[in-house]
Amino acid sequence: MAIAEDLEIAAFLKGQPKKLFIGGRWVEAASGKTFETLNPATGEVLAKVAEGGADDIDRAVAAARASFDRGTWRDLPPSERAKVLWQVGDMIEERATEFAQLETLDNGMPINDALLFHAPLAAATFRYYAGWVTKLDGATQQISLPGNYLSYTLREPIGVVGQIIPWNFPLLMAAWKIAPALACGNSVVLKPSEETPLSALLLAELLQEAELPAGVLNVVPGRGETAGARLAAHPDVDKIAFTGSTEVGKLIAKASAESNLKRVSLELGGKSPNIVFADADLTKAVSGVFFGIFFNQGQVCSAGSRLFVQEKVYDQALDQLVQTVKEARIGPGIDPVTQMGPLVSKTQMERVLGYIRTGSQEGARLLAGGHRPGGLDSGYFVEPTVFADVDGKMRIAREEIFGPVVAAIPFSDEDDLVAKANSTIYGLVAGVWTENVSRAHRVAHALKAGTVYVNCYHIVDAVTPWGGYKQSGWGRELGPYALDLYTELKNVIVDIS
């Protein structure tokens, strides 16, 4: 296990294996099993982690239930709960370099992305929801029936919340799930991905240091088919929140319905259109297209993987994009000059390379990339790849690749574009590049997507809603909208005559 001694995270990685966090204590898995999490830039073992299974989920749910029923967190004065969440935000900011290094080593993302985007937004998320703790108000209603009644509503925590997060943005996804759930007074069982469990465990350390009561947060790394399946189907879990693929989301919804009809929120896949009109600032648009698809190596549910370019500027835009791709710096994420790191695992790399072969076989024109980069003898790297002249029926235009592959499709006019852009089972985000303000609003209204970016892409903030149409999921995370995911609305009606 080759870990540089000068990294600030070195001490955290030396404690082996990393344990589960259940009931306020660090414990071994009930089975005694561990799994290895790898550095995708080298393929080397980064750490060993206790492998949580069904028995460990049962222990974690029992701890969460006991803490919730005791009211050790939900019954604290709101200002006291807010202080804890705000403190966690401060602690993430203070240890941002550690989190950034850990994300880079475990996930492969460029260190600058982790340091400048992921860690600050995770801290901001905890602070944002700290502000909401004291503002979870109800309302009064005037009843029209004869008599004299006082009607009012209360927002109450749901109870025990199970949360399953993916490997593409480990720290950020943990913050997006944990912060609003705790702000509303719930107790949480979090299952991070077995590919990238480390930042969630470090985050649990911070919450423990912030004196979150025991059992309010439990972190159980494990595999989806064991720990994840048990959490989704557990009869004593009141709500499940999942971010991941649409296929797994459907399984979780089914398991939740069959166990106890628990509430479910799902943030799922995408095949997002990024649209360049002929009147766009082409330099800015091409830069946005590059960022839209190749950020985090394309391992983003909102990646602009379908590139629609108006015929008049189609060739020019693709020429500029290919030139930008050729200049991209690919390498280990820990290197500060890296723009694109490795994919998260060998399995993911092989999956993406398989889609690239399929694209060529289906007749798409390969303009750039398509292979593992030369000069990198280890790790799970794939070149940024650009396909042109893609037909909407091709698999690379229909299926979520979740890698650095963009499928370029020409369009003639606005009506042609909208029909093509909406021809997908997904509806997470879309991008529109145009200098025509009327067109920008008109197209934004016509697109079936939860977020539409105009002359920008991948702009995400703690205050903005996140979620999609169609098979991109159920519900909205972030902003005040996430509070609806983690509270029950109770109506009280009193006869005061």
How many alpha carbons fall within 13 Å on the CB side of residue 263?
14
Active site residue 184: no
Distance CA 407, CA 366 (A): 9
Residue whose entry in the numeric block shows the structure tokens 């766009």: 280
Using CB atoms within 10 A of its CB, is residue 11 exposed (0-12), middle (13-18) or buried (19+)?
exposed
Positive or negative, the CA dihedral 438, 439, 445, 451 is: negative
Beta carbons of 56 and 22 less than 8 angstroms apart: yes
Cβ(136)–Cβ(487) below 8 Å:
yes
For residues 459 and 186, what is the distance between their CA atoms, to the nearest angstrom? 29
Tokens 């240091």 — which residue? 209
Q: Which of 301, 383, 400, 477 does the annotation list as catalytic?
A: 301
Residues linked to residue 218 through DSSP beta bridges, in sequence order: 189
- How far is it, in rounded angstroms, from Cα 386 to Cα 373? 14
Separation of first and last alpha carbons in the chain:
74
Q: Residue 292 is encoded by which pair of tokens? A: 């839209």
Given the residues 51, 267, 400, 477, the one annotated as active site: 267
What tokens appear for 67 in the block? 């803490």
With beta carbons less than 8 A apart as the criterion, state whether 130 and 82 touch: yes
301 annotated active-site? yes
Angle value at C-alpha 176, between 170 and 177, nearest 5 degrees: 90
65, 134, 135, 259, 321 from 68: Cα distances, Å: 5, 19, 21, 20, 53
Interstrand relation of 487-495 and 187-191 (parallel, antiparallel or unpaired): unpaired
> Is-contact 52 223, C-beta < 8 A?
no
CA distance 374 to 355: 20
**H or E, element range at 36:** strand 34-38
**Residues recognised as catalytic:** 267, 301
